[in-house]
C-alpha cells in the first residue's frame, strides 16, 4: 500500500496499558497532540504528523505495510506478529522504558515442575501461540498449544489446559488463580518500530527530526546532572566514582586556589550511596538535578 499523504503517521494504542505513556513520550518530544474530530486519528499541530489510534494488535500490520511509518507497541505483540510473516518489514528502533512485562509459562501451584521436559505432551493455553511454539521448539519439546484470546489464566481451572503461557507484570493475576511462574518465554516492553517501506524525502526529514527528539527524551530518562565542589587532589577519585561519566567539566572556583567545581551528566542512576562515597572522597556542596532535554 502506498504511504498516505505528506504527513507522517504514528500508530499508537487507542486505549489500554500503553496509550497514556505513548502519548506522554510524544508530548515530551515536543509534539502538540490535538484530539481529533474522529476517534481514529489525532493531529499534531506543530509537526506534519498524524497519530493513528488503534488496537495494539493492529499496529505491527500498519507499520509493516507502510500505512504508518512508525508505531509504538509491545515487543510481545510485535514478535508474535513477526513469527507469522515470512519477511520482516519493520525495524525496532528503540526500547521505550515502559510497558514492562514478561511472557511466562505458569503451572498450578504445588505441581511438580522440575524443568521444561515436564511440559512434554501437556496442553498449554496461550494468546501467544507462535512465541510459545518457537520456545517449545528451541527446548526440543512437543506439547499441545491451546489458543485462547483472553482469560488464559482460567484454563487450568476449566480443565482446558494443564499449563498457561501469559503476560505477567506484578504476578498477582497468576497468584489469584493459584498459578506460579516456571519459565520465561520473552521479556517485553514497549518499543518504537519503523516501517521498511520507502519514505519520501519530506517525510524522511520529519522522521529524522522526530527520532532525534525521541532520542533526546530517552537519553534523559535516568540521567542526572550532578554538581559539586572538590579540592584538586580529589578530582581523579571523584571522577572514578561518578556513574556513567567519562570527562566531567572542571571549573576553577574564584578566590579558592586549588578548589574546583565539577559538573557532569551521569547516564546511570545516582544512589545515596554514591553521594556518601563522593563526600568521603572530598566532595562538598553536592547537587543532583533532573535533566529536561538533551541533544547529543
Helix%, strand%, coil% for the chain, nearest 5: 30, 30, 35
Is 28 or 57 the residue whose CB approaches Zn ion more closely?
A: 57
Q: Which of the stretches 57-65, 87-95, 147-155, 243-251 binds Zn ion when contact is defined by CB under 5 A?
A: 57-65
Alpha-carbon separation of residue 184 from 166, 239, 295 (angstroms): 10, 39, 36
Is 50 or 56 the residue whose CB approaches ligand PRT more closely?
A: 56
Q: For the CB of residue 117, give the shortest distance to Zn ion in the complex, in Å.
A: 32
Residue 56 touching Zn ion (CB under 5 A): yes
CA distance 296 to 290: 17
169 contacts which partner out of ligand PRT, Zn ion, none, CB within 5 to 8 A by kind? Answer: ligand PRT
Q: How many CB atoms lie within 10 A of CB 102?
A: 17
CB of 265 within 8 A of CB of 223?
yes
Q: For the CB of residue 47, give the shortest distance to ligand PRT in the complex, in Å.
A: 24
Q: For the CB of residue 99, give the shortest distance to Zn ion in the complex, in Å.
A: 12
Q: Edge-to-edge, what's the strand order for the sheet holding 284-290?
A: 249-252, 259-266, 224-231, 284-290
Interface positions with ligand PRT (CB under 6 A)? 13, 16-18, 55-57, 74, 76-77, 99, 101, 166-173, 188
- What are the helix and strand counts (H, E) for the chain? 9, 15
Is 7 or 23 the residue whose CB approaches Zn ion more closely?
A: 23
Q: Which of the stretches 54-62, 148-156, 273-281, 287-295 binds Zn ion when contact is defined by CB under 5 A?
A: 54-62
Amino acid at each position: 500500500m502506498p504511504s498516505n499523504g505528506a504527513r507522517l503517521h504514528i500508530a499508537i494504542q487507542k486505549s489500554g496499558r500503553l496509550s497514556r505513556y505513548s502519548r506522554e513520550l510524544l508530548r515530551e518530544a515536543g509534539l502538540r497532540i490535538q484530539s481529533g474530530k474522529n476517534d481514529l486519528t489525532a493531529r499534531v499541530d506543530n509537526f506534519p504528523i498524524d497519530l493513528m489510534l488503534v488496537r495494539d494488535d493492529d499496529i505491527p500490520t500498519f507499520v509493516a505495510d507502510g500505512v504508518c511509518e512508525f508505531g509504538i507497541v509491545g515487543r510481545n505483540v510485535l514478535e508474535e506478529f513477526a513469527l507469522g510473516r515470512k519477511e520482516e518489514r519493520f525495524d525496532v528502533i528503540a526500547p521505550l522504558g515502559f510497558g514492562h512485562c514478561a511472557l511466562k509459562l505458569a503451572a498450578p501451584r504445588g505441581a511438580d515442575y522440575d524443568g521444561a521436559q515436564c511440559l512434554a505432551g501437556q496442553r498449554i493455553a496461550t494468546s501467544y501461540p507462535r512465541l510459545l511454539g518457537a520456545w517449545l521448539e528451541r527446548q526440543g519439546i512437543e506439547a499441545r498449544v491451546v489458543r485462547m484470546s483472553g482469560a488464559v489464566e482460567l484454563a487450568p481451572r476449566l480443565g482446558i489446559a494443564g499449563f498457561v503461557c501469559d503476560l505477567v507484570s506484578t504476578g498477582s493475576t497468576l497468584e489469584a488463580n493459584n498459578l506460579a511462574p516456571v519459565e520465561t518465554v520473552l521479556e517485553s516492553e514497549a518499543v518504537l518500530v519503523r516501517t521498511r517501506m520507502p519514505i519520501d524525502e519530506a517525510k524522511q526529514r520529519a522522521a529524522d527530526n522526530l527520532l532525534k527528539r525521541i532520542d533526546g527524551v530517552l537519553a534523559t530518562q535516568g540521567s542526572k546532572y550532578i554538581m559539586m565542589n572538590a579540592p584538586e587532589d580529589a578530582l581523579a577519585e571523584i571522577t572514578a566514582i561518578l556513574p556513567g561519566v567519562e570527562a566531567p567539566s572542571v571549573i576553577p572556583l574564584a578566590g579558592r586556589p586549588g578548589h574546583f567545581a565539577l559538573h557532569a551528566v551521569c547516564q546511570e542512576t545516582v544512589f545515596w550511596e554514591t553521594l556518601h562515597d563522593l563526600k568521603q572522597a572530598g566532595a562538598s556542596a553536592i547537587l543532583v538535578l533532573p535533566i529536561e532535554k538533551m541533544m547529543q
